[in-house]
Amino acid sequence: MTLTALETPALLLDRTRLERNLERMRAHVHGLGAVLRPHVKTAKSIDVARRALAGEPGGITVSTLKEAEYFAAQGIRDILYAVGIAPAKFAHVIELTRQGVELKVIVDNLAVARALAGAAQQARVTVPVLIELDVDGHRSGVAPEAPLLIAIGKVLNDSAGVELRGVLTHAGGSYDLRGAAAIADMAERERRGTVQAAERLRAAGCAVPIVSVGSTPTATFARDLTGVTEVRVGVYMFQDLVMAGIGVCSVEDIALSVLVSVIGHQPERGWIITDGGWMALSRDRGTERHDVDQGYGLVCDVSGRPLRDDLIVATTNQEHGVLTRRDRGAIDLARFPVGTLLRVLPNHACATAAAHTHYHVVDGESPEVVARWERFGGW
């Protein structure tokens, strides 16, 4: 099957670029003495996860228990659920633990640490737990230097039902930085805070086998991972315009795109109308405050090369995209007749992929669709 046989909008995944992105990150992290625990929240696909896991001894990271459920059923048994666990999810965690899944959860407060220990003890299971750290004021987590860290460590260490396995952080603040130097500094802050927390816990008598850090930007520019055991990354598999905008990748590394059709024009306004609206591209405007605002996405020809016209998806409705030149200059509309196929590169791979039920897999600029990989959403 070729691209012309697809009904648009359709999600495309370039396998060549995917493999290159996987290999580059793997080599970099291995070179620094750590291993990858790929985050499957971006791809939500067993086909992608298997490729990301190749050559890694550890398991995966998930963002929902539905992901944990799905990937466990596919045979991946070492799973880290990297969102603070809440009491309403204890029963589900216990159920997966009983099934033999090594499901690690994270906590950043005493109330949940104690409640989880109680629930697990009552269910006669032991749940492995990591303590979530906050190194950049970004969202959840305990400060590495806080007395609370040791208090949580002691609860986890001393209670039946739970077992302290390590510490974890995600330097999500790195998404707001620009360029290698600033992000490398953040990577060192992420490493230092996490290792510091591990050492404080060890000094207090706790075993801390896992020291887990991760974000695609910090992992890309980290120069030293001393003391870190694993790196969690997800977006690096596909990359996107936000990553390109902050210097983490080039536009040519982006493996994900949305195939759209031209469905009309508004000649007086210089608009090309396509069937790729925000439902297919997502509402994510992550490049809005970047030096280069990509609108709702950068427009490429059907083979994936950015058009010389420098077209972006300027505005969207649910199932309509309006393409203009970035500089709002005139377009030769005759070059884009109704039915023309175009590829749109996404601002944010996680959000764009989430709108679709499957990937049409392509290889570079070839028009052949070589596979269909399923993905899922929801909770």
* Strands of the chain, DSSP E: 10-14, 35-36, 60-62, 78-81, 102-107, 127-133, 162-169, 210-213, 230-231, 256-266, 271-274, 298-300, 311-316, 321-325, 341-345, 358-362, 369-374
Site residues (CB under 8 A) for its own copies, limited to 97-126: 108-109, 111-112, 115
Are 314 and 322 a contacting pair, CB within 8 Å?
yes
Instruction: Confirm or reject binding of residue 320 to its own copies (CB under 8 A).
Output: yes
The interface with its own copies within residues 128-147 (CB under 8 A) comprises 134, 137, 139-140
Instruction: Quote the CA–CA distance of 116 and 80 in Å, as a whole number.
Output: 16
Segment interacting with its own copies, rule: CB under 8 A, options 95-103, 194-202, 323-331, 349-357: 349-357
Q: What is the CA radius of gyration of the chain?
A: 22
CB of 183 to its own copies, least distance (A): 18
Question: Given the rule CB under 8 A, which of 47-55, 191-199, 266-274, 302-310 is the region that contacts its own copies?
Answer: 266-274
* Other Cβ atoms closer than 10 A to 27: 11
**Separation CA 244–CA 327 (nearest Å):** 20
Check if the beta carbon of residue 80 is closer than 8 Å to that of residue 62.
yes
Find the part of the chain contacting its own copies (CB under 8 A) among 58-66, 158-166, 202-210, 222-230.
Answer: 58-66
Burial-class residue 153 by CB neighbours within 10 Å (0-12, 13-18, 19+): buried
Q: Give residues with Cβ within 8 angstroms of 269, minimum separation 6.
A: none
Residues 20, 24, 30, 92: which binds its own copies (CB under 8 A)? 92
Identify the residue among 201, 322, 362, 369 touching its own copies (CB under 8 A).
322
Is 89 or 290 the residue whose CB approaches its own copies more closely? 89
Binding marks (x or -) toward its own copies, 68..87, rule CB under 8 A? ---------------xxxxx
Q: Is 10 in the site for its own copies (CB under 8 A)?
A: yes
- What are the residues binding its own copies (CB under 8 A)? 4, 6-10, 41, 63-65, 83-89, 92, 108-109, 111-112, 115, 134, 137, 139-140, 172, 261-266, 269, 273, 275, 278-280, 282-285, 317-320, 322, 337-339, 341, 348, 350-351, 354-358, 377-379
